[in-house]
Amino acid sequence: MPIIEVSRLVKEFGAGRAPLRALDEVSFAVDKGRFVTLVGPSGCGKSTLLQILAGLTAPTRGEARIEGERVCGPMPGKVGMVFQDPTLLPWKTAFANVEFPLDLRGDDRPARRKRCAALLELVGLAEFADHYPHELSGGMRQRVAIARGLAQDPKLILMDEPFAALDEQTRTRMGHDLLDIWAATGKTVFFITHSLSEAIYLSDAVLVMSPRPGRIIDTIAIDFPRPRELDIIGSAAFGAIRNRIWHLISEAR
Amino acid sequence: MRAAIAGYLIFVVVLLGGWELAARLSAVDPDLLPPPAEVGAVLWQFLHDPRFLGDLALTANEVAAAFVVAAPLAVSTGFLLGERLHLAETFNPLVHFILAVPQSIFLPIFILAFGIGFLEKVLFGITHAYFVILINSFAAVRSIPRPLVTAARVFGATRAQIYTRIYLPAMLPLILTGLRLGMIFCIIGVLLAEMYASRRGIGQLIFDWGEGQQIPELLAGIVLISVLTIAVNELMRLAELRLAQFRAAAAAG
Amino acid sequence: MRRRALVKSLTVAAAIAAAWEAVVRSGLVSRIILAAPSDIVQAAASDGGVFLRAFATTLAEIGAAIVIAWTLGIVTGLIVGSSRRLAAATAPVLSSIFAVPLIVLYPLLMAWLGIGSLSKVAFGAFSGFFPIVLNTIDGVRAIEPRYLALARSIGATRLQTHARIVFPLALPAMVSGLRVGTGLVVIGVLVTEMLASLGGVGFLISYHRTLFDTGHVYFGMLLALLLAVAVNIGLTRLDRRIGRWQRREQAQE
C-alpha cells in the first residue's frame, strides 16, 4: 500500500462569487521509503497541498490518505513536518527543541534524552546541543528542525521548501546531508521546492505541478544511482531532465 | 474597526444592563447602588445647575491652563535635548528618576508651598503633563532619520525648509501622542489635587459626595467625567490618525 | 576601585545634605516647605516605630493589589488575546477606559468599602489591571501563526499550546505591562492612603502635613519613594531577564 494516496484533491479559497482554486483535481501516490519531490512555480499551490497532507487544512473536495488512513487532522506519530522557517522555540536550547515533541507526548526522561542525543548526532549538531537558536546559523537551525521532525519517529516526513531561505552553498550542502539522513533512517520523504535542480538531485521521482490552479502535469522518475554526489548536477543527463521539466511547466501556463 | 464598535456597544449595554439588574437585586442596598435612571436624572439636573457648571468650568480651566503652559515648554525642551545630545546625557538620569517616582506623592509639598488655590492645582497639573510630553518630544526628535536631513542639506535646503518639510512631519506623530498622554496626566493631576484639598472644583465635589455617601450624585459625577475624558482622548486620537493619513498622502504626493 | 567610587558618592551625598541643611537654616526657603535633613532624621528618631508599622501596612496593601492585578490581568489577557475577534472587540474598550482618570472612582470605593485597607487594595488592583491586560493581549496577538502551526503539527493539546508556547512567547510583552501596571498599583495605594485612610505611609504624610510637621512629611515621602524605586528596580530586573532571548532574536533578524 502506498504511504501517501491523494485522489482528486480540490482546494478552493473564498466561497461565493469567485472562489480561488488553488488545487485542481490533484491525484498521486507515494510508496514507502521513497524520496519524492513536488516541484512547481511559486503560487502553484504546492504549500497548500502540503498543508492538506499535514492535516493543517481541509480539502474542498477529494481526499488524502496516509497509510490508508484518511487525513482529518495532524497525525504527529505518523507524520513529521519541517517548515520553511525552522520555527525553533527561542528560549530552548537545540537539544530542548528536539526534545520538545517527546516532552509533550509524555515520554520518560532517559529514553527521550537518549533519542535526542542520537538525532542531534545524526544531523551533525552533537556539539551544539546546548546552544540557543540565536547562536546558530540558518542552516544549523534547519538541521535542528529536521531532528525535531524526526523526534516522534514518524514514518513520513513532509518538508515545505526547508532550504529556500538559505544561501546557495548552504542549500546544496544541506541537500546532500539530507540524503545521508534519509538513507540512515529509511523514512519516506515528501519534499516541496520550486528549485528544479534541488528536486532532481534529491528525489527518486519528481511530481511536476502546473501554475495555479495547480494540477500534476507529469511524474518524472529519476534513475541516478544512490548514494548521489553533488557532481551529477553538472552532468548532461541531469540537464536534460531539467530542461524537460522546465518545458512541461512553461507549456502548462 | 467594526469589531471595535461592536465591542463598545456591547460594553455599554452590558454595563447599563448589569447596573440596572444589580440595582434591582433585593440583596443590594439601594442607597449603595441606585439604578441608572436615578443617576441619569441627577446628572441631568447637574447640567442645568449653575453652581455645578461653575465647578466644572473651574476644573476645565485649571486643566487648560496647566496644559497650555506645560505643552510648549515640554516640546521645546524635548526638542532642545534631542538636538543637543550632550545636554540630554546630563539630564537623562534626572528625568528617569523623576519618572520612576510617583509624582503624586509630592502633592502635600505643593500644598504647603502654594496653598490650595488655582495656582497650586495648575502647577501640580503642569508637573504631571510636563515630563510625559518631554519624553515623547525627545523621542520624536530622535526618530527623525538622519540620512534624510543630510540628503536635504546636500540638495541645498534652507534651515527653514529642513525644519518644516522634514522635521515637522517626522516628529508630529510622537509629539501628538505625547500631547494626548500629557492631557490625560494633566487631568489626573488636577483632579487629584482637587480631591485632596480644594474649595471648589469637580474633584472636590466628587470627594465630598464620597465622604458623605451621596451615591447618586457621586455616580453622576463619575459618569460625566468618564464620558468627558474618554471624549477628549478619542478626539485627540482621531487627530493623530487624521494626521498620519495626511502624512502618508503628502509623502506619496 | 569600587570603594573609591563609593566613598566619592557618599562624600557628594554628604555635601548635598550639608548644603541643604544650610539653605534651610539660613531661612532662604521656608522650613515649612523644605524640611532640613536634621528635621527628617529627628522625625525618624521620634516616630520611627509608627512609620515602620505604617510602612508594613502599605506594603501589605500593595502586595495584595499586585497579586490580584497580576493574576486577573494575565489570565484575562491570555484568554482574550487567544481569540482574534474577542481581542478586536475588547482591547479598544479597555484602552478607552484606561484614559479615564481612575482616581475619580476612589470615592465610590470609599463609600462602598470604607476607608480601610480594602478600598486601597481594590483601587490599586483596578489601576494595575489595565496596562497588564492590554499588554498581555498585545503579546498574544503578536505571536506569529507559524508557532501555532508548529504546535498543531507536533500534536500539542490546547493546554500545552497555551502553557508551553503561547505563554513564553507573550512573556516579554506581558512583563512590560507588569512594569507599568505595578507602578500604577504603588501610586494608587499611596495616593488613596493620602486621600482618606486609617493607616499606611500615605496617611501619615497627609496627617503630618495638616500639623505642618514638615520633617515628618518628608520622612514619609522618603519611605514612599524608596518603596516605589525598589519596586521599579525589581521589575526592571525581571524585564531584563525575561526579555533577554527576545532581544537577541530581534538583533539576529
Q: Are residues B67 and B24 in the same domain?
A: no
Number of domains in chain B: 2
Domain extent, residue B188, equals 34-252
Number of domains in chain A: 2
In a domain, A180, yes or no: no
In a domain, C148, yes or no: yes
In a domain, A47, yes or no: yes
What local confidence, expressed as pLDDT, does residue C247 receive? 64
Residue C227, domain CATH: 1.10.3720.10
pTM for the model: 0.84
Nearest to C146 among A87, A90, A101 (CB): A87
Q: Say if CB C64 and CB C121 are below 8 A apart.
A: yes
Asked if C164 lies within 8 A of A104 by C-beta distance, the reply is yes
Q: Are residues B38 and B26 in the same domain?
A: no
Nearest-angstrom CA–CA distance, B47 and C139: 42
In a domain, A209, yes or no: yes
CA distance B160 to chain C (A): 37
pLDDT average, residue stretch A49-70: 91
User: Which residue matches cell numbers 509533550?
Assistant: A104
What local confidence, expressed as pLDDT, does residue B178 receive? 92
Domain extent, residue C231, equals 50-252
Strand order in the sheet with A61-66: A20-30, A4-13, A61-66, A69-70
Q: Which of residues 177-236 of B touch C (CB under 8 A)?
A: 184, 187-188, 191-192, 195-196, 203, 206-207, 209-211, 213, 215, 218-219, 221-222, 225-226, 229-230, 232-234
Q: In the structure grid, which three cell numbers stand for residue A19, read together?
A: 472562489
Residue B179, domain CATH: 1.10.3720.10
Cβ atoms within 10 Å, residue B72? 11
Query: 3-state class of B67 per DSSP?
Result: helix
What local confidence, expressed as pLDDT, does residue B252 receive? 56
pLDDT in tens, B112-165: 888 888 999 999 999 999 988 998 998 888 888 778 778 877 887 777 777 777
Q: Are residues B59 and B115 in the same domain?
A: yes
Angle at A196 between CA A231 and CA A84, to 5 degrees: 105
With contacts defined as CB-CB under 8 Å, which chain B residues touch C108? 210, 215, 218-219, 222
- Predicted-complex ipTM score: 0.88
Domain extent, residue A8, equals 1-78+156-163+187-253
Q: Are residues A112 and A59 in the same domain?
A: no
Nearest to A134 among C147, C164, C248 (CB): C248
CA distance B99 to chain C (A): 10
CA distance B61 to chain C (A): 17
Residue A242, domain CATH: 3.40.50.300
Nearest-angstrom CA–CA distance, A36 and B125: 71
What local confidence, expressed as pLDDT, does residue C246 receive? 67
In this structure, the strands spanning A35-39 and A188-193 are parallel
In a domain, A177, yes or no: no
Nearest-angstrom CA–CA distance, C61 and C202: 12
Q: Are residues A109 and A131 in the same domain?
A: yes
Closest listed residue to residue C185, CA positions, set C131, C133, C137: C131
In a domain, A181, yes or no: no
| Cα-only R_g, chain B | 23
Residue A70 has pLDDT above 50, yes or no: yes
pLDDT in tens, B84-113: 877 777 777 777 777 777 888 899 988 888
Mutual angle of helices C167-195 and C117-141, in 10-degree steps? 150
In a domain, C14, yes or no: no
Beta strand ranges found along chain C (DSSP E) = none
In a domain, A116, yes or no: yes
What local confidence, expressed as pLDDT, does residue A53 receive? 93
Number of domains in chain C: 1
Q: Are residues A73 and A98 in the same domain?
A: no
Q: Say if CB B123 and CB B67 are below 8 A apart.
A: no
Indicate the average pLDDT of chain C: 88
Compute the CA torsion angle C73, C71, B225, B173 (nearest 10 deg).
Answer: -30
Q: Are residues B128 and B241 in the same domain?
A: yes
Q: Are residues B38 and B84 in the same domain?
A: yes
Q: Are residues A57 and A114 in the same domain?
A: no
Q: Are residues A92 and A147 in the same domain?
A: yes
What local confidence, expressed as pLDDT, does residue C252 receive? 56
